[in-house]
Amino acid sequence: MKIQERKLRAAVKRAYQVPFIRRKMQEQGVAPDDIRGLEDLSKLPFTTKEDLLKGGLFDALAVPRSGVVRVHTSSGTTNRPVVTFYTRNDLETWSELLARNLAAIGAKPGDVFLNTAGQGMFTGGLGYIAGAERLGLTVVPMGPASPERQLEVMKIFGVTVFHAIPSFALRIADAAERLGIDVERELSLRLGILGAEPWTEEMRRLIEERLGIKAYNNYGAAELGGPGVAVECIAQQGMHVWEDHFIVEVVDPKTGEQLEPEENGELVITPLWREAMPLLRYRTRDVACILDERKCECGREMAKISWIHGRLDDMIKVRGIGLYPSAIEKVILRHPEVNGEYLVTLEGYDDVKVKVEVKEQVLNTGRAEELAEQLSRELKATTMLKMKVELLPPGTLPRREGKARRVLDLRGVHGGG
Ligand code: ZN
């Protein structure tokens, strides 16, 4: 893409203003003028989260501090969140990207948009509100509140589109069920844009079914400016990357070598639009692939990435086998008896227990034992690991504010063996 090459050259020049990036480029013996086209991309050094956390708070800036009109932070699990900066132009581009995200899933003027993400430090709050306003939707900037309260507000304003993390969408479905709300008849919901948390297509189907909506995945990271990197379109077959603003690569996480389409590896993303905080070849730690097929029934020809299979840091190692929690989720959520809540517990000497909430009637009919055995068999077949499955009534597993925790690793916690 011509536009990508032109923007890449400019982005590299901007990034060269950032001392740690300049140092890395010099170490690699590459100057901004060496980068002419996409074929030169692999000459550039990677940047990582460690780079951003190592230096001072403002070390990633490519503009004077007075040029920064907004800061946000990641919701990072590390001690210090990553800070991300925006110039006025950056905010302008970002809101355009998020307006595009909403348009891609089929939202349009006349839709009423509720954002369950807080308008605070995290990017999904103010970001999506700006995008929705830009697209001409009616915005209900609800922010964090109980699922019951969200439902009430959805009803009052006739909300048709909402943004949330997937586990919170499930909690809204739980609350609707508890309150006896007929989601199809009493609510006007039709679209959900979900993400910022690991989830699977199986989880998507379940959320769609329980809330009577179409649900779409979207991808981003605070380091890259927030959400707005990639989004599913109505075809629901991979996420389109906004290639006029980002270059996407997939590399072998060990060697850093670029991989072919359909090969899973670490997503590496170069934002082309960021003035305040340009990054080159940012290693996301997220595992996915670039899809071979560009043609899409929506008409867009932007490259598509797969769903994220997991984060490199979240891989569970059990008896020498490595797996992502998503592999377990995919097996469990294929069954109509479950409600979407589950917890994987690792204990003792690599004992894996999977607790799964099922619908009330399943436990009452004696189908439970059979289902538990079936799940255990299917998990063994998919992951090669023996797992004990325990079925629980709905509402038993702890829900938490913020991102869901699906894995509890207690190995070594109790001391001894
Ligand atoms: Zn498409």
Compute the distance from residue 69 Cα to the ligand 1 centre, in Å: 33
Maximal C-alpha separation, the chain = 71
- Judged against a pLDDT cut of 50, whether residue 254 lies above it is answered with yes
Compute the distance from residue 302 Cα to the ligand 1 centre, in Å: 8
Can you read off the two tokens belonging to residue 106? 């089929």
Compute the distance from residue 238 Cα to the ligand 1 centre, in Å: 8
Q: Specify the pLDDT at position 417.
A: 39
How crowded is residue 84: how many other Cβ atoms within 10 Å of its Cβ?
A: 25
pTM: predicted TM-score of the whole model, two decimal places: 0.95
Contact 270, 246 (CB under 8 A): yes
Compute the distance from residue 101 Cα to the ligand 1 centre, in Å: 11
pLDDT band of 77, cuts 50, 70, 90: low
Q: Specify the pLDDT at position 76.
A: 62
Compute the distance from residue 234 Cα to the ligand 1 centre, in Å: 6
Q: Specify the pLDDT at position 252.
A: 98
Compute the distance from residue 300 Cα to the ligand 1 centre, in Å: 5
Compute the distance from residue 304 Cα to the ligand 1 centre, in Å: 8
Compute the distance from residue 3 Cα to the ligand 1 centre, in Å: 20
Compute the distance from residue 227 Cα to the ligand 1 centre, in Å: 18
Compute the distance from residue 232 Cα to the ligand 1 centre, in Å: 7
Model pLDDT for residues 188-225, shown as the tens digit of each residue: 999 999 999 999 999 999 999 999 999 999 999 999 99
Model pLDDT for residues 107-126, shown as the tens digit of each residue: 999 999 999 999 999 999 99
Compute the distance from residue 78 Cα to the ligand 1 centre, in Å: 35
Compute the distance from residue 107 Cα to the ligand 1 centre, in Å: 14
Q: Specify the pLDDT at position 301.
A: 94
Model pLDDT for residues 161-182, shown as the tens digit of each residue: 999 999 999 999 999 999 999 9
Compute the distance from residue 222 Cα to the ligand 1 centre, in Å: 24
Q: Specify the pLDDT at position 350.
A: 85
- Judged against a pLDDT cut of 90, whether residue 239 lies above it is answered with yes
Q: Specify the pLDDT at position 83.
A: 95
Mean pLDDT over residues 313-335, rounded? 94
Q: Specify the pLDDT at position 140.
A: 98
Cα gap 339→72, rounded to integer Å: 34
Length of the chain: 417
What value does the mean pLDDT of the chain take? 95
Compute the distance from residue 244 Cα to the ligand 1 centre, in Å: 15
Residue identified by tokens 């029934």 is 297
What are residue 83's DSSP bridge partners?
Answer: 73
3-state SS, the chain, equals CHHHHHHHHHHHHHHCCCHHHHHHHHHCCCCHHHCCCHHHHHHCCCECHHHHHHCCCCCCCCCCHHHCCEEEECCCCCCCCCEEEECHHHHHHHHHHHHHHHHHCCCCECEEEEECCCCCCCHHHHHHHHHHHHHCCEEECCCCCCHHHHHHHHHHHCCCEEEECHHHHHHHHHHHHHCCCCHHHHCCCCEEEEECCCCCHHHHHHHHHHHCCEEEEEEEEHHHCEEEEEEECCCCCCEEECCCCEEEEEECCCCCCECCCCCCEEEEEEECCCCCCCCCCEEEEEEECECCCCCCCCCCCCCEECCCCEEHHHCEEECCEEECHHHHHHHHCCCCCEEEEEEEEEECCCEEEEEEEECHHHHHCCCHHHHHHHHHHHHHHHHCCCEEEEEECCCCCCCCCCCCCCEEECCCCCCCC
Q: Specify the pLDDT at position 365.
A: 83
- Judged against a pLDDT cut of 50, whether residue 48 lies above it is answered with yes
Residue identified by tokens 């909403």 is 102
pLDDT band of 355, cuts 50, 70, 90: very high
Compute the distance from residue 198 Cα to the ligand 1 centre, in Å: 21
